[in-house]
């Protein structure tokens, strides 16, 4: 490389920070620089260029009306004095784009986000090849490094007894959901499906195990009233959209200097095309993973439909084609979670997710049997099967505690979560704890967050860590019930919760879009960007620093741990785990939850 002589000038009253940074990079690369003072006239700068016989000139200037004419005059002078062809001219500034640089007569324009390398490439007259960040993001294993060893032996003992009970109780039972999962697992092959091979045996068996809606679909071709198939033009447009978006998108990291938490964001507009748009935005604004959720009627329906289907309301219909299309739209480094935790299709969802190589799923017996309406006995049978499939496909899963939102105290929801966790460990699964970071009815009533949102959330994490060495993924989403229809407030609140999560060293978080609580329909892309940008700013602001919770966090953490132990004892004392749910030990009618009724009396003897 031949060293160049570079003149740098802030043709601006004051703004010269950026150009000083560029200068340092240029000098470190072995070039000679001349830095002029700010606020010189074009004539004065031209004079310096002539005096120093430089090879390259880099100007910086913030733009306003009339400034463009000053810069154009500078280029004109350079042209008229005959140096335009021998000296390369670059312009940088906040509003500079290539189009404007061309219009002003410069050889290059450097806008916001310009790297030293980019400026250096210009100085050295070589083509700037942006460092690809697409391949930089690699999937991270959330559970890696955790031993799952219990630190609270009493709780470990209680959980072991409950798991014994669940496995024993479920050992001679099955359900339509379990049977469908079995058919899907054994008779439906993803490669044959991709090759358009007809799976006759599957199609003979599967509809028999479905409810009316899917059976009518398979036998009579009747579609769910709020769904329709995509037409060919839409499919072509979707493929073209994905291709075009991939070509120009980058996949940044949100975490600044931190290694975690991973940031997840859900889609589920109902329309897989729109979902794909949301996924690409989430990826392009730094989300590490995306979450698929199905419509509420999907959880109450025995069986899945088929085909590439769009849906009028929230929640994206689970079909092989929908999962396949969405899977194929993901960037290689994006983690994909397919929720399976609550409905009548829990085990089959896990099977399908596994066949389409999802990274994560979501299973919880207690929340699914209380907050979302599936019969406790049915969900227990289904969850045992689902966890076995998750273990088989190597899909880790979070165990959510959203019953807190209905009024169940954290310690009781955590007891339910730990029951599923222990069951999962026994069955070879790798569960992830998912406490809520939320302004729940419990904290409202008890005043736990009267002063701040920090202490009680810190208490939850501390309590769980004292019980078991397991990964923690607060959700879902963080800041639940702190959000309002004000998008600034909403995204700011998420950013603070995300920063708190980062300070606590948790492994992942799920963030809401800023209009998620009040959208009155599908969440919007700008609102998704709001939150991801806010979270990135939070991570940037706090970096590796810490905040100090008050002493109250320690007190509450002890109370939560004691409460968990108390609830687990009650479950053990009750005898049957399923009865404990029916009796309200893991969430009562007084607190606001009821045992679910979907799928009641569908549990069968094997």
| The two three-digit tokens of residue 508, written as one number | 């992942």
The residue to which tokens 């690809």 are assigned? 132
φ, ψ for residue 517, nearest 5 deg: -75, -20
Beta carbon nearer to other proteins, 107 or 117: 107
The rounded Cα 197 to chain-centroid distance in angstroms is 34
By CB under 8 A, is residue 47 in contact with other proteins?
yes
Q: Tell me if 486 contacts other proteins by CB under 8 A.
A: no
Phi, psi of 509 (to 5 degrees): -140, 155
Whether 45 contacts 77, CB under 8 Å: no
Nearer to other proteins, 46 or 384 (CB): 46
Alpha carbons within 13 angstroms on the beta-carbon side of residue 463 total 29
Per residue, the 3-state secondary structure of 240-278, as one string, reads HHHHHHHHHCCCCCCCCCCCCCEEEEECCCCCHHHHHHH
Query: 479 φ, ψ to 5°?
Result: 80, 15
- 94 binds other proteins per the rule CB under 8 A: no
| CB of 58 vs other proteins, minimal distance in Å | 14
Q: How many CB atoms lie within 10 A of CB 525?
A: 17
Q: What are phi and psi of 60, to 5 degrees?
A: -130, 145
Binding-site member from 39, 76, 164, 239 for other proteins (CB under 8 A): 76
Reduced to 3 states, what is the DSSP secondary structure of residue 429? coil
Beta pairing class for 227-229 and 309-311 = antiparallel
Of 44, 47, 36, 49, nearest in space to 10 by CA: 36
Binding mask 96-135 for other proteins (x = CB under 8 A): -xxxxxxxxxxxxx--------------------------
Measuring CA to CA, which residue among 408, 457, 411, 463 is closest to residue 437? Answer: 457
Q: Which of 34, 68, 223, 249 binds other proteins (CB under 8 A)?
A: 68
Q: Which is nearer to other proteins, 93 or 347 (CB)?
A: 93
Q: Looking at 34, 40, 50, 203, which residue binds other proteins (CB under 8 A)?
A: 50
Characterize the bridge pairing of strands 604-605 and 173-174. Answer: antiparallel
Say whether residue 82 binds other proteins (CB under 8 A). yes
Candidates 29, 34, 35, 72: give the one binding other proteins (CB under 8 A): 72
Comparing C-alpha atoms, which of 402, 315, 349 is closest to residue 587? 402
Q: How far is the CB of 20 from other proteins (least distance, A)?
A: 23
In the complex, the smallest distance separating the C-beta of residue 4 from other proteins, rounded to whole angstroms, is 17
- Considering only 35, 63, 187, 249, the residue that binds other proteins (CB under 8 A) is 63
What are the tokens at 260? 């975690």
Q: Closest separation between CB of residue 390 and other proteins, Å? A: 47
Segment near other proteins (CB under 8 A); pick from 91-99, 112-120, 488-496, 515-523: 91-99
How near is the Cβ of 111 to other proteins at its closest, in Å? 11
Tell me the window of 43-51, 365-373, 410-418, 595-603 that interacts with other proteins (CB under 8 A): 43-51
Candidate residues 9, 22, 46, 179; the one interacting with other proteins per rule CB under 8 A: 46
Q: Which stretch binds other proteins (CB under 8 A): 62-70, 135-143, 520-528, 590-598?
A: 62-70
* Residue 228 CB, nearest approach to other proteins (Å): 33
Cα end-to-end span (Å), the chain:
77
Interface residue with other proteins, options 27, 28, 69, 186 (CB under 8 A)? 69
| Least Å from the CB of residue 112 to other proteins | 15
Omega before residue 261 within 30° of 0, cis = yes
**Minimum CB distance to other proteins, residue 11 (Å):** 15
Give the shortest CB-95-to-other proteins separation in angstroms: 7
Site for other proteins in 462-481 (CB under 8 A): none
Which listed residue (1, 14, 37, 85) binds other proteins by CB under 8 A?
85
**Residues in binding contact with other proteins, number by CB under 8 A:** 35
587: left (phi over 0), alpha (psi -120 to 50) or beta: left
Element (H, E) at 365: helix 365-370
CB within 8 A of 340, min separation 6: which ones?
346, 347, 349, 350, 353, 361, 362, 363, 386, 397
Which stretch, 68-76, 277-285, 479-487, 525-533, contacts other proteins (CB under 8 A)?
68-76
Binding site for other proteins (CB under 8 A): 43-44, 46-47, 50, 63, 65-66, 68-69, 72-73, 75-77, 79-82, 84-85, 95, 97-109
């Amino acid at each position: 490389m031949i060293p160049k002589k570079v003149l740098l000038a802030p043709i601006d009253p004051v703004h010269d920070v950026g150009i000083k940074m560029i200068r340092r990079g240029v000098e470190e690369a072995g070039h000679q620089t001349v830095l002029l003072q700010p606020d010189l006239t074009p004539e004065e700068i031209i004079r310096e260029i002539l005096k120093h016989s430089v090879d390259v000139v880099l100007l910086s200037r913030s733009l306003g009306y009339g400034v463009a004419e000053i810069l154009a005059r500078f280029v004109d002078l350079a042209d008229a004095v005959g140096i335009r062809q021998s000296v390369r001219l670059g312009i940088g500034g906040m509003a500079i784009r290539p189009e404007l640089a061309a219009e002003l007569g410069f050889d290059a324009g450097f806008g916001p986000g310009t790297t030293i390398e980019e400026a250096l490439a210009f100085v050295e007259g070589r083509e700037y090849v942006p460092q690809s960040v697409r391949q930089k993001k690699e999937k991270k294993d959330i559970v890696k490094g955790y031993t799952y060893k219990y630190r609270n032996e009493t709780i470990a003992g209680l959980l072991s007894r409950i798991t014994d009970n669940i496995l024993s109780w479920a050992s001679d039972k099955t359900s339509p959901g379990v049977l469908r999962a079995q058919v899907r697992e054994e008779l439906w092959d993803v490669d044959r499906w991709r090759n358009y091979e007809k799976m006759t045996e599957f199609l003979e068996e599967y509809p028999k195990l479905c409810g009316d809606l899917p059976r009518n679909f398979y036998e009579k071709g009747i579609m769910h009233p709020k769904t329709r198939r995509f037409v060919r033009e839409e499919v072509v447009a979707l493929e073209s959209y994905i291709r075009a978006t991939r070509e120009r998108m980058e996949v940044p990291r949100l975490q600044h200097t931190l290694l975690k938490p991973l940031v997840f964001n859900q889609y589920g507009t109902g329309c897989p095309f729109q979902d794909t748009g949301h996924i690409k935005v989430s990826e392009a604004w730094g989300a590490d993973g995306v979450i698929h959720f199905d419509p509420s009627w999907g959880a109450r329906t025995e069986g899945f439909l088929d085909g590439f289907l769009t849906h009028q309301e929230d929640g994206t219909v689970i079909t092989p084609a929908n999962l396949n299309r969405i899977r194929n739209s993901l960037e290689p480094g994006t983690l994909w979670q397919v929720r399976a935790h609550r409905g009548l299709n829990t085990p089959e969802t896990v099977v399908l997710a596994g066949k389409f190589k999802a990274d994560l799923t979501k299973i919880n017996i207690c929340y699914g049997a209380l907050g979302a309406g599936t019969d406790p006995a049915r969900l227990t049978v289904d969850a045992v099967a689902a966890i076995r499939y998750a273990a088989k496909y190597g899909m880790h899963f979070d165990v959510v505690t959203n019953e807190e939102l209905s009024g169940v105290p954290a310690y009781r929801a955590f007891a339910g979560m730990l029951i599923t966790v222990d069951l999962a460990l026994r069955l070879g699964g790798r569960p992830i704890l998912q406490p809520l970071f939320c302004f729940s009815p419990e904290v409202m009533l008890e005043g736990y967050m009267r002063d701040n949102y920090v202490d009680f959330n810190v208490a939850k994490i501390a309590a769980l860590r004292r019980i078991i060495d397991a990964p923690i993924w607060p959700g879902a989403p963080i800041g639940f019930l702190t959000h309002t229809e004000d998008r600034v407030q909403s995204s700011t609140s998420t950013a603070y919760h995300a920063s708190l999560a980062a300070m606590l060293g948790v492994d992942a978080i799920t963030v809401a879009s800023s209009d998620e609580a009040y959208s009155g329909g599908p969440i919007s892309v700008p609102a998704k960007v709001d939150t991801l940008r806010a979270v990135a700013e939070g991570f940037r602001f706090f970096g590796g620093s810490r905040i100090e919770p008050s002493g109250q966090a320690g007190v509450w953490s002890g109370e939560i741990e004691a409460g968990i132990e108390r609830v687990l004892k009650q479950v053990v004392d009750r005898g049957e785990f399923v009865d404990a749910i029916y009796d309200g030990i893991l969430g009562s009618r007084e607190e606001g939850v009821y045992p679910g009724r979907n799928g009641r009396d569908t549990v069968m003897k094997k």
